[in-house]
Every structure is written in structure tokens, then in C-alpha cells.
Amino acid sequence: MSGVEKTQKAKTGAVHKSGFVAIVGRPNAGKSTLVNRLVGQKIAIVTSKPQTTRNRIQGIVSRENAQVVLIDTPGLHDAKTALNKQMMREVAAALEGIDLLVLMVDATTATILKSGFVSTNPETGLNSGFVSLPAQAGTDPETRLQLDRLLMDKSKRFAGKTILVLNKIDKLPRPKLAPLLEAFGKAQEFAAIVPISAMKGEGCDALMDEVIKLLPEGVAYFPEDQVTDQPERFLASEIVREKAIALTYHEVPHALAVTVEKWEETAKLLRIEMTLMVERASQKKILIGRKGDMLKKIGTQARVELEEILNSKIYLGLFVKVAENWRENPMAVRELDWHTQMEALGADESEQGGRSG
């Protein structure tokens, strides 16, 4: 159904809604898992390592009465390297022009302390990394909450509505859920508080209903069959990075970047060549493994998944190189952003077209 048809349908009484929804939270809160769940297929990589997501990724959910554009963002954290700072800029960019904000909290790390405060970060103490909220009318100061400062700042600066999502309730003892819902409800006036399990799907339909309820009327921004804004080559590089992160250790996952060097499509084969970049020779050694075993394992796992996603037979060639301290180099970090890569690719194609003309 086209945007015009949906507008006509709205005129007959069947309202169509659409809008952009940013999902923000700490690393490993489950943002990417939720986006994949709601979209219905994998568009964002998921690992147990923190700070896996580096770029904002749009996942598109199209229904008869609505189109929701979900924006997956890097986990909020203290930005020290050029890469970390770029990741936080991605979060800031994701909040521009959105219609709705979703704050995601890992319910298993939220603990109601004896004072009545709630800690949402298991790695810090009561007086580190949190902000005490002012008492609201009729609220006992001892029952005030302490929420993650970064999350609260994002929510307070956003002029629109905010939904709080408590994720991983499948891992939370049921008696602990009701007190958490009550405590968070006193912290701030959220448009809705929705407990979910992004992994198992519990509560996700209810969340989508709340999202659609709060979106403005409007036509679809994307075709119904489109599920993401990212190009296939970026998703392919992310799948390779996901496998490498899962199979390696020490600093390799954080120091790893993957870029596509060649993407050639033929009638029978998709030929892809990628470079895996790390910062030190020792990391390169881990990535390659004994007699190349690790690199081969990464390539095999990635190729099998990519063939299923892209529905094509694939040749995948992987190469490893060292670029010392690339995470500290703003120019190197920018060049690894897929938006920048696509701009460069477009410029190259335009230049080649001009020469052939």
C-alpha cells in the first residue's frame, strides 16, 4: 500500500500512524535484541560483550495501521577514545527529530536499596554514577529513586514522550518485578512502563501497541518490504565482526573493526573480501589463530549466516591487518562509519562513470 493509499484510508476513518523511535540504554541492556525481535529478522548484531553496537541502525516495522522506524543506538557510556566519542555522537544524532524515546533498563541489574533508592548499574556504588532525583509532591524523600545519570539526562532533554522498558524479566524473580515497576513509576512521569523479555518475546507486542498509540498520524516513510536503512555490505561486515567478537578474548573484541574491500555479484556467486583491523600484533595473532584456525572458523560461521540472510552462494575472503591505536584516531574512526564508506563509494562510482562518458 502506497503512502497516498494510506492517506486515503486515513480519510475514511482508519488512522495510519508513523514515526521514529530511538531506543537508548546502557551497554548490554538488550536494545539490539529488541530491535531484531520487533523487526522480525536480524538487522543488528548481538553479543555478550559490551559496546558491540557502534552505529545507529534503523529497523523498520510496517503494519496495516502504522510504520514504526526503530533506531538502535550504541550503549551509553563514558566516552574516552575517539571511537567512544563517535559512538556517543551516534546516540545524539539518533535523538534528532524523533517522535518517541524508549529508555531501556536491564531489570536484573536494578536493585531497590534499603534507603528506597534504585541502582541500575551493578558496577558502581550508591554514590557513583547516579543522580538523586528531587522528591515529587506526595512522595517520601526516602523512596526517591536514583537512576542512571546518562539515561535520565537523555530523557529530561527530550521534549516528547518517553517509554521506560524493563528488559530481561524472564531472568528476574517475579516477586521483584512489582516493586521495581512502582519504584520507577515514582522516579519520573513516563508515558508508559513496559516490562519485557526481548530474548523470549514476552511483552513485546504490548510495547509495540504502546509505541503506536503514542506516534503521530502520518504516511509510511519506507516501502512495506524494507526492514532496515543499512546497506547489505555493512550488515555483512557486522556479521563477521559479531562472529569474531564471540570467538576471541582479551582486548580483541574492542579493538576490532571490519571493512568491506570487495563486493562482486555474479549470477552464481557473491564474492566478498573483508579486512579485519586490530591495533596490535598480539591481537592479530589471536584473530588468526594457530595455523589460521581462528580466522577460518570466523569466516565459516559468518559465511553460513550470510548465505542464509542474503540468499546467495558466497565466497568470503578475510584478511587481518594492524593499524596501531586506530580507536584514538578521529579520521580512522570516521572512515569506518558505513555512512562515510557509502559516500566514498558513491563518489568513486560517479568518478568512474564520468571517465567512461
H, E, C per residue of 173-229: CHHHHHHHHHHHHHHCCCCEEEECECCCCECHHHHHHHHHHHCCECCCCCCCCCCEC
Helices (H), the chain: 3-11, 31-39, 82-94, 149-157, 174-187, 204-214, 232-247, 252-255, 281-288, 293-310, 330-336, 338-356
Residue 227 · residue 38 · CB < 8 Å: no
Contacts of 251 (CB under 8 A, 6+ apart): 279, 280, 283
Judge residue 76's burial from the number of C-beta atoms within 10 Å of its C-beta, 0-12 exposed, 13-18 middle, 19 or more buried: buried
Check residue 52 and give its pLDDT.
Answer: 64
- What is the pLDDT, as a whole number, of residue 299? 97
pLDDT score recorded for residue 316: 97
Q: What is the pLDDT of residue 150?
A: 58
Tell me the pLDDT of the chain (357 aa) as tens digits. 454 444 445 444 579 999 999 898 888 889 999 999 999 999 887 877 666 666 778 899 999 999 999 988 876 656 667 766 776 677 766 678 889 999 998 888 876 554 454 555 544 333 333 333 333 333 333 323 334 555 666 676 778 899 999 999 999 988 889 988 888 888 778 999 999 999 999 999 999 999 999 999 999 999 999 999 888 998 999 999 999 999 998 778 888 999 999 999 999 999 999 999 999 999 999 999 999 999 999 999 999 999 999 999 999 999 999 999 888 888 888 777 666 665 655 544 445 444 444
Q: What are phi and psi of 62, to 5 degrees?
A: -110, 125
Predicted pLDDT of residue 354: 46
